[in-house]
Structure 1
């Protein structure tokens, strides 16, 4: 089932067959991305900064210091959030048709600040996103830490995903050209965990990486 673009600015015009407007595809791109990049305007200048994020339901969340310039700007005006994955390098028979397999998302809107009473539960969701079950093992967060941290959330109502998969798409007249053509897959992978020398627990927990490693590319 196809879904319409939620707004004029999310409507994909270049290669529209690669666009996806359904929520499940968007959620998978968000959940498996380690960071997002947020573009915003502050005092007459445009900025685009990377930051960690997580998703709860139909909102994307970020956090930062109470005095953060970016968080103050985001609470005051609209922004554009982007996320991307590169799933493969596509080698064609001509330079023109070289490409990448990718999944990318663009989200428009305005962040809103969470109330104090909702902050701890949302920070728990952030930690659980990175390592399920870890929050209950940690030293409890205190009031000073909660006060120093600002949380913002952005509705996911105005968003689009664009994606490519598969092999090279060469012109018919180039198919017999004597050069290798194909795809080199790329993926986000966790390396070997490194225990801190002063850690009182030596056993490495399972599921480190959480949702970041749990969503393979959609085909």
Structure 2
């Protein structure tokens, strides 16, 4: 399946890096742990990092019911969500042609509050398993009071764009021909470290498999 661009989700600058496959959108979202939710509050833009998870063509966002960004987003105003994964810094022969390798997705739409207990529980399970796989079946589940204190929004993924840059620098022909400067890519890799037990744990505990197995 392919993305269906709208005027505001059509990539105009660097359109050669636009990716139209919907699977590419899923791949970027599934690889990221944090998105940035953008709303307009009091006639001014507000952009905040937000936890999320994906279920099919629905993106779930969550946070405290006291979070103004989520309260405003729940009123039916247009919102924008962005996710960026940095894969490396591109060192070119000229400063002008320096760049970055990245995978980025932008989603436009109207967020819908998830209020029924079953739907909210499902959304939180999706979020939990995206951020901390295995925790839903291991940790204590939310109480009614905790559910009430949590805001969950559903955002449809219909209107979205994906942009990806990879590979070496795109230097000018004369700079390449001069062969006077080093050029290339410094890849960025991320990895999980050693699990750090909570000092409040009592007794000897083995790190759960769903934590240790993620390394």
| Shared fold per TM-score greater than 0.5 | yes
Distance 1:34 1:145 in 2: 22
Q: CA deviation at 1:5?
A: 4.2
8 and 144 in structure 1: CA distance in 2 versus 1, 3 angstrom threshold: same
**Does the aligned pair in 1 maintain the 2:28–2:104 contact within 8 Å?**
yes
Once the two structures are overlaid, the 10-residue window that deviates more, 192-201 or 141-150, is 192-201
**Does the aligned pair in 1 maintain the 2:168–2:185 contact within 8 Å?**
yes
**Does the aligned pair in 2 maintain the 1:101–1:164 contact within 8 Å?**
yes
- Deviation sequence 1:164-201 (CA, Å, 0-9, x none): 00011111211133221111101232122111122256
**Does the aligned pair in 2 maintain the 1:90–1:100 contact within 8 Å?**
yes
Q: CA deviation at 1:207?
A: 4.5
**Does the aligned pair in 1 maintain the 2:111–2:154 contact within 8 Å?**
yes
Structure 2 unaligned residues grouped into runs of 5+: none
Q: 2:183 aligns with which of 181, 184, 194?
A: 181
Distance 2:59 2:213 in 1: 17
**How many residues of Structure 1 are paired with residues of Structure 2 in the alignment?**
211
Structure 1 unaligned residues grouped into runs of 5+: 214-219
48 and 131 in structure 1: CA distance in 2 versus 1, 3 angstrom threshold: closer
The TM-score normalised by the length of structure 2 is 0.90
Once the two structures are overlaid, the 10-residue window that deviates more, 201-210 or 141-150, is 201-210
The TM-score normalised by the length of structure 1 is 0.88
Match of 1:121 in 2: 122
Q: CA deviation at 1:67?
A: 2.9
**Does the aligned pair in 1 maintain the 2:51–2:63 contact within 8 Å?**
no
